């Protein structure tokens, strides 16, 4: 095994895999290191929703840029990646949420992102199994769904094709000053560039990072084809992103290509128990049935638990650590890690190689929290 590389990427989830692929394509000799398998932790518990959001201008810029990169990648993906541009139906339950949908529609269309307002009648045509009496909604036709672990493996394969090395089952004890020290045998890997892409576990290497783990549950049903046609979520989903101090559940469902339905989403902070919380799952299913009553009678197949990395300003940490010129961060994406994985990797590769940055990297730099 080589011990010296041009870059060492810690974490073989979808963000780390994307970073490894992007850097390897520039000609760097990359080591991608993970304590488990490819896409086996947070990535495996992701909903796989490729979505544009506008909580801030910086969030919009990164999600839209990433969505375009997904559209470019899609034709190269194998069938198991399950990429489908189904679109998102954002559901407005009342007039207040409908006004928010109208605001969002204007915002997106002004920026060249297709968005269509749905009346109450049109909403029922798009998703016949939603409950009656909803105010309307917003349809985002370019949003997509994907199987995150399969895409992570695709990106790793691309990295390997460009000479990268993959080290699985290798826990890193220390990542700093151009060196990654492995737990097994104290092996030391060196590189002038280190990338911490370990999601919620990024603080294992630096407890001072402005990151909190956010626990989330997803429930997968048995196969019920045609019950759900698009990614469907309540507009209250966006409001809940601000409820940082309390547990929350929202209606968010996705049809999987095999006929199963993925039901989300929940948020719990400061809970690092890896087990399923029955109280949260029950609340999640109750919320889903409030919007789509037919779900109340469907059988559940399995529940997934994952931990996202949340930052105080809801933006990821992308770029160098101020006190260590060798160490870059690619973490803090919270629930948008799948969407923004490609944009994150592209920004890092461009910044390191002097290529043109398609969007400014400044809003995501870790140094913003040092002011």
Q: For residues 371 and 369, give the distance between their C-alpha atoms in angstroms, rounded to a whole number.
A: 6
Identify the CATH number of the domain defined by range 7-48+148-211+314-370. 3.50.50.60
Q: For residues 208 and 205, give the distance between their C-alpha atoms in angstroms, rounded to a whole number.
A: 9
Residues 192/245, Cβ–Cβ less than 8 Å? no
pLDDT digits (tens, 9 = 90+) for 121-164: 999 999 999 999 999 999 999 999 999 999 999 999 999 999 99
pLDDT digits (tens, 9 = 90+) for 87-97: 999 999 999 99
Tally the C-alpha atoms within 13 A of residue 208's C-alpha that lie toward its C-beta.
Answer: 7
DSSP letters along 50-118, please? E----SSHHHHHHHHHHHHHHHHHGGGS-GGG--B---EEEEE-SHHHHHHHHHHHHHHHHTT---EEE
Average pLDDT value for the chain: 95
pLDDT digits (tens, 9 = 90+) for 204-218: 999 999 999 999 999
**What is the arithmetic mean of pLDDT over 180-205?**
95
What is the topology classification, in CATH, of domain 85-142+212-310? D-Amino Acid Oxidase; Chain A, domain 2 (3.30.9)
Q: What is the 3-state secondary structure (H, E, C) of 203-241?
A: HHCCCCCCCEEEEEEEEEEEECCCCCCCEEEECHHHHHC
Q: For residues 74 and 62, give the distance between their C-alpha atoms in angstroms, rounded to a whole number.
A: 18
Confidence at residue 273, expressed as pLDDT on a 0 to 100 scale = 84
Residue-range domain boundaries for the chain: 7-48+148-211+314-370, 85-142+212-310
**pTM (two decimals):** 0.95
pLDDT at residue 242 tops 80: no
Residue 181 host element (H or E): strand 179-182
**pLDDT > 90 in the chain, percent:** 91
Enumerate residues 6+ apart whose C-beta is below 8 A from 136. 92, 98, 101, 117, 118, 119, 120, 122, 123
Enumerate residues 6+ apart whose C-beta is below 8 A from 75. none
């Amino acid at each position: 095994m080589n011990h010296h590389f041009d870059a060492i990427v810690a974490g073989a989830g979808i963000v780390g895999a994307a970073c490894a692929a992007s850097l390897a394509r520039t000609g760097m000799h990359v080591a991608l290191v993970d304590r488990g398998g490819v896409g086996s932790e947070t990535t495996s518990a992701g909903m796989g929703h490729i979505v544009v959001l506008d909580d801030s201008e910086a969030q919009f810029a990164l999600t839209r840029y990433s969505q375009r990169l997904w559209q470019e990648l899609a034709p190269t993906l194998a069938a198991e990646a399950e990429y489908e541009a189904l679109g998102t139906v954002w559901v407005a339950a009342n007039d207040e949420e409908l006004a928010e949908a109208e605001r969002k529609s204007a915002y997106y269309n002004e920026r060249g992102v297709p968005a269509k307002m749905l009346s109450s009648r049109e909403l029922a045509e798009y998703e016949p199994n939603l409950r009656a009496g909803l105010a309307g909604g917003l349809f985002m036709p370019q949003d997509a769904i994907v199987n995150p672990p399969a895409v992570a493996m695709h990106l790793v394969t691309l990295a390997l094709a460009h000479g990268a090395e993959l080290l699985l089952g290798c826990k890193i004890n220390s990542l700093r000053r151009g060196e990654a020290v492995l737990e097994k045998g104290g092996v030391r890997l060196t590189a002038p560039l280190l990338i911490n892409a370990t999601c919620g576990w990024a603080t294992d290497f630096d407890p001072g990072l402005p990151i909190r783990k956010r626990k989330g549950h997803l429930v997968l049903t048995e196969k019920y084809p045609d019950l759900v046609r698009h990614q469907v979520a309540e507009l209250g989903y966006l409001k809940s992103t601000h409820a940082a101090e309390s547990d929350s559940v929202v209606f968010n469902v996705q049809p999987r290509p095999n006929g199963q339905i993925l039901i989300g989403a929940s948020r719990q902070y400061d809970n690092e128990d890896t087990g399923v919380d029955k109280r949260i799952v029950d609340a999640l299913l109750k919320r889903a049935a409030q919007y789509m009553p037919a779900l109340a009678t469907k059988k559940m197949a399995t529940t997934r638990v994952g931990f996202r990395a949340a930052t105080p300003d809801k933006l990821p940490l992308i770029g160098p650590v101020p006190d260590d010129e060798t160490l870059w961060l690619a973490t803090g994406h919270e629930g948008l890690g799948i969407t923004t994985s490609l944009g994150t990797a592209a920004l890092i590769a461009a910044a390191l190689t002097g290529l043109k940055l398609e969007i400014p990297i400044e809003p995501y730099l870790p140094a913003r929290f040092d002011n």
